[in-house]
Amino acid sequence: MKNYFRDIFIDAKNTTRDFARNRSALIVANLVLLPWFAAIVSGRNTNPFPALGEIFGIMFVYWFFTRRRAIEMLRVKFPIIETAVALALVLIWMLFRIGQYANVYALPRVRFFSIGDVFETIVPKTLEMVIAPLALWLALRYRPRELGLRVNWRDWIPALVLVAVLVFFGLRNNSPQEWWDSCIYFFLGAGLPEEFLFRGILQSRLEALVKNPAWGLFLAAFVFGASHLPINLSNASPSNWLSAFESAFTFQMSIGFALGYAFQRARNVLPLAIIHTLIDAAP
Reduce the secondary structure of 33-66 to three states and give it as a string: HHHHHHHHHCCCCCCCHHHHHHHHHHHHHHHHHH
Around Cβ 147, how many Cβ atoms within 10 Å?
Answer: 20
Q: Helix, strand, or coil here: 115? A: strand
pLDDT at 239: 75
Sequence length of the chain is 283
Asked if pLDDT for residue 217 goes beyond 90, the answer is yes
Helices (H), the chain: 2-21, 23-41, 49-66, 79-101, 122-126, 132-139, 156-173, 176-186, 192-194, 204-210, 213-226, 229-234, 241-247, 253-265, 269-281
The whole-angstrom separation of Cα 48 and Cα 227 is 22
pLDDT at 18: 93
Chain centroid offset of residue 92 CA: 18
Asked if pLDDT for residue 189 goes beyond 90, the answer is yes
Asked if pLDDT for residue 178 goes beyond 90, the answer is no
pLDDT at 111: 78
Asked if pLDDT for residue 269 goes beyond 90, the answer is yes
> Which residues are registered as beta bridge partners of 112?
115
Asked if pLDDT for residue 145 goes beyond 80, the answer is yes
Asked if pLDDT for residue 192 goes beyond 90, the answer is yes
Asked if pLDDT for residue 66 goes beyond 90, the answer is yes
Confidence of residue 97 (pLDDT cuts 50, 70, 90): very high
Q: What is the mean pLDDT of the chain?
A: 92
Confidence of residue 173 (pLDDT cuts 50, 70, 90): confident
pLDDT at 120: 86
pLDDT at 207: 97
pTM (2 decimals)? 0.95
Around Cβ 207, how many Cβ atoms within 10 Å?
Answer: 26
Among 148, 183, 161, smallest CA distance to 270 is for 148
Asked if pLDDT for residue 130 goes beyond 90, the answer is yes
pLDDT at 124: 93
DSSP 104: S
